[in-house]
Structure 1
Amino acid sequence: MLQEKGAFLNMAFLGGTSLRFLYSIPRYSEGLDFSKLASKNIEFDDLLNSIKSSFELEDYEAIIKKSKEKTVLSAFIKFPSLLYELDLSVHQDEVLSVKIEIDTTPPGGAATEVTLIRKYILLNLLHYDKASLFAGKIHAILTRKYTKGRDLFDLIWILAGSNWPKPNFILLNNALSQTDWPGPEINVGNWKEIIASNIKSKNWEHATEDVAPFLEHEADRYNLTMDNCLALLNKF
């Protein structure tokens, strides 16, 4: 639906859901994250109204709740009773919520690609490349004020892959500067050490509990350990 409205012409797909769509990371997500391209305009209200109208044409109720934040355009699209109607829940009043976020002032330095994938329908996705997605994940881990299990699961999954490049250091440092990170500039010589130091301070028990509801395979929660992460980081 976003593709039909031309969304992928003026913003790039990133974040956890992009990892699932593009590379089949075995965890679920709650939102769709995008980065505005510098030379493009985004009519967020028009996009949301088009999404709402499209669902209503199919007789699905859609409720839009938009944030007032202007730097990051954000909205929840809520679908009352949709899970019940699709036989995915026994509770008629259970609401499915999807969050859409668009960063209108993203840090510079990201590289993008276009990939044609099949997810029930053909999707032609403009997205951050692997190095830039990796940088985004590291930025989240270093700057988030709490331990988020999905961040650490994604990091382990990336480090365990055989075809992931080093992070995009230009993008990473620009993002860290934008969010006033107090640490040093990150480069090819120190990035592993900085990440290792950071993840040693994480609450890994909480991380496991946090990510568990989103895992495609329940047994994966037992692989989410600091020792596994440090070992993979050392070998990367």
Structure 2
Amino acid sequence: YVRCFDRPSLFAGKMHALLFRKWINRVKGRDWYDLEWYIKKGIPLDLNHFAKRAKDTGDRKEDELKEKDVKDMLKEKFSTVSFENLKEDVRPFIKDDKVLEIWSEQYFKDLLDRMKFQ
């Protein structure tokens, strides 16, 4: 059998990778590029799928997550990540790397205002 996921579930998987990836000093610019893509496309985050995945992997103990919880976790991540390292990591995959100039803590906080949930 082939397991298929809808876009909101795929977004949940990407969100889990972005927030809970176990790499201490390495960032994946691709995760951040995808976060931006999902939000700009208006694809909602499957909150239930994300919560179950985070609990199953031991990254969270709670059964439920609220929108505010996710946004708070993201804001915490925004405040600790090196945006220069993110840009460098994703730059080889971007045709026009000028689009990365706006990447900053404030830019991603502003994106959260457009983030949808289901």
Bin for the TM-score computed over the shorter chain: 0.7 to 0.9
- With over 3 angstroms needed to count, the CA separation of the structure-2 counterparts of 1:175 and 1:154, relative to structure 1, is same
User: 1:190 deviation in Å?
Assistant: 2.4
The amino acid across from 2:33 in the alignment is: F
Aligned to 1:154: 34
CA distance in 2, matches of 1:187, 1:235: 16
CA distance in 2, matches of 1:133, 1:169: 11
CA distance in 1, matches of 2:99, 2:61: 32
Aligned to 1:179: 57
User: 1:197 deviation in Å?
Assistant: 1.5
User: 1:176 deviation in Å?
Assistant: 0.9
Contact 1:192 1:234 in 2 (8 A): no
Higher RCO structure (Cα 8 Å, ≥6 apart): 2
1:146-187 CA distances to partner (integer Å, 9 max, x unpaired)?
3211111111222223x322x112211121122210465422
Instruction: Give the structure with the higher percent strand.
Output: 1
1:85-110 CA distances to partner (integer Å, 9 max, x unpaired)?
xxxxxxxxxxxxxxxxxxxxxxxxxx
* RMSD over equivalenced CA pairs, Å: 1.9
Instruction: Classify the secondary structure of the residue corresponding to 2:113.
Output: helix
CA distance in 1, matches of 2:20, 2:61: 10
The amino acid across from 1:200 in the alignment is: S
Aligned to 1:224: 103
User: 1:205 deviation in Å?
Assistant: 0.9
CA distance in 2, matches of 1:152, 1:233: 13
Matched, 1:130 2:7: yes
TM-score by length of 1: 0.43
User: 1:231 deviation in Å?
Assistant: 0.4
Instruction: Give the structure with the higher percent helix.
Output: 2
Say which one has the larger Rg. 1
Aligned to 2:18: 141
Contact 2:55 2:61 in 1 (8 A): no
The amino acid across from 1:136 in the alignment is: G
Aligned to 1:4: none
CA distance in 1, matches of 2:83, 2:114: 21
- With over 3 angstroms needed to count, the CA separation of the structure-2 counterparts of 1:138 and 1:147, relative to structure 1, is same
CA distance in 1, matches of 2:32, 2:40: 12
Q: How does 1:23-38 map to 2 (within 5 A)?
A: 37=3
